[in-house]
Amino acid sequence: MLLRLRRLVRRQGIIAIGFLAPSIVGFAVFYVIPFGIGILYSVMDQTSGGEFVGTTNYENVLASASFRKAAMNTLQFTAVSVPILILLSLLLALLLNGNVYVKRWLRTAFVLPLVVPVASIVMVWQILFDWNGSLNAWMSHFGWDRIDWMKSEWAISVLTLVFVWKNLGYNIILFLAGLQSIPKDYYETADIEGAGPLHKLFHITIVYLTPTMFFVVLISIINSFHIFRVTYLIAGDYPHDSIYMLQHYMNNMFAALDMQKLTAAAVMMVICILIIVSSLLAIERRFSRSLE
């Protein structure tokens, strides 16, 4: 019996590997191998027939004022936009989880940005925040001065607004799934003991929603590093200084065929993301153990 079970497990393992093989090969060919080559380029003085230069390329990148500006802007954008996104999505998820009259319509409205192509979204926001756009037209109608939104300090605020609007629906779905997985017995017991709404929110909802929140924070941080696509479509290669991101720097290095700086910057960005992700996962595991 035990021998048959081992054969069955081995056969199922072989079948599983067969189904996973195309994805594994594709991931290796298009992600792992190119990234490994990039790491190699980052420690060479040139891509073809180069010599090993150690950390010279990393030192040159760190000494670059444009890289430091891009890194600071990226970190500031993540530090500001992600908490705003988490707070809004959590509040709206709590609202939609209750008895709201137009709950289905609101869910549809928040999910719609997920299915709309980025180019279409950018076009709408360009029409809204252009110098001759709708918002400036309304401001002129009320006698206020026009603002060049994407070429002033307001650009980072516009970008944060677009990011929150684009990712709000996805986070709401995740929070709703987490809220609906909390046993109702906890709330019923709290009601019997006379607990108020705030007590139930902080001692039941938030506590048991924390694992979901860690995941939502992680996904939001990763998505914040994808803002380059929207920024590039709205503001082009060289946007206002406040929205010059790390991907802008790497894109410009690619245009200049400076592969050493490009790969060095990419490796440092990946290391930064890995540190953030590993830290969040470690905190989440420790919190899960404390709940047990």
Residues in CB range of 105: below 8 A, 6 or more apart: none
Distance of CA 291 to the CA centre of its chain: 27
Looking at residue 145, the DSSP 8-state letter turns out to be P
Phi and psi torsions of 47, nearest 5° = -75, -30
Residue type present at position 67:
F
Q: Over the stretch 205-233, which tens digit does the pLDDT of each residue have?
A: 888 888 888 889 988 988 888 888 778 77
Query: What pLDDT does 101 receive?
Result: 63
Decide: 77 and 245 in contact? Cβ < 8 Å. yes
**DSSP code of residue 238:** S
Whole-angstrom Cα distance, residue 276 to residue 282?
10
Average pLDDT, integer, range 120-126: 73
Cα 93 from Cα 99, distance rounded (Å): 12
Q: Any idea which residue has 């004022």 for tokens?
A: 65
Residue 105's pLDDT is: 67
Within 181-258, residue ranges assigned H as helices are: 184-192, 197-200, 206-224, 228-235, 246-255
Q: Is 264:58 a contact under the CB 8 Å cutoff?
A: yes
Residue with more model confidence, 118 or 77: 77
Q: Compute the distance between CA of residue 153 and CA of residue 157 in angstroms, rounded to an integer.
A: 8
| pLDDT of 84 strictly over 90 | yes
Residue 180 has pLDDT above 70, yes or no: yes
* Among the four given CATH numbers 1.10.3720.10, 1.20.1530.20, 1.10.260.40, 2.60.120.280, the one describing domain 64-291: 1.10.3720.10
Per-residue pLDDT tens over the stretch 30-53:
888 888 888 888 888 877 777 788
How far is 261 from 264, CA to CA, in rounded Å? 5
Residue 1 has pLDDT above 60, yes or no: no
Distance of alpha carbon 169 from alpha carbon 110, whole angstroms: 4
Predicted confidence band of residue 131 (pLDDT cuts 50, 70, 90): confident
- Domain borders along the chain are 64-291
As a whole number, the mean pLDDT across the chain is: 81
- Whether the CB-CB separation of 44 and 58 falls below 8 Å is answered with no
* % pLDDT > 90, the chain: 4
Q: What band does 102 get if pLDDT is binned at 50, 70 and 90? A: low
For residue 25, pLDDT over 90 is answered with no
> Bridge partners of 184?
none
Would you say the pTM of this structure is higher than 0.85? no
Tens-place pLDDT, residues 86-101: 999 998 888 887 766 6
For residue 231, what pLDDT is reported?
81
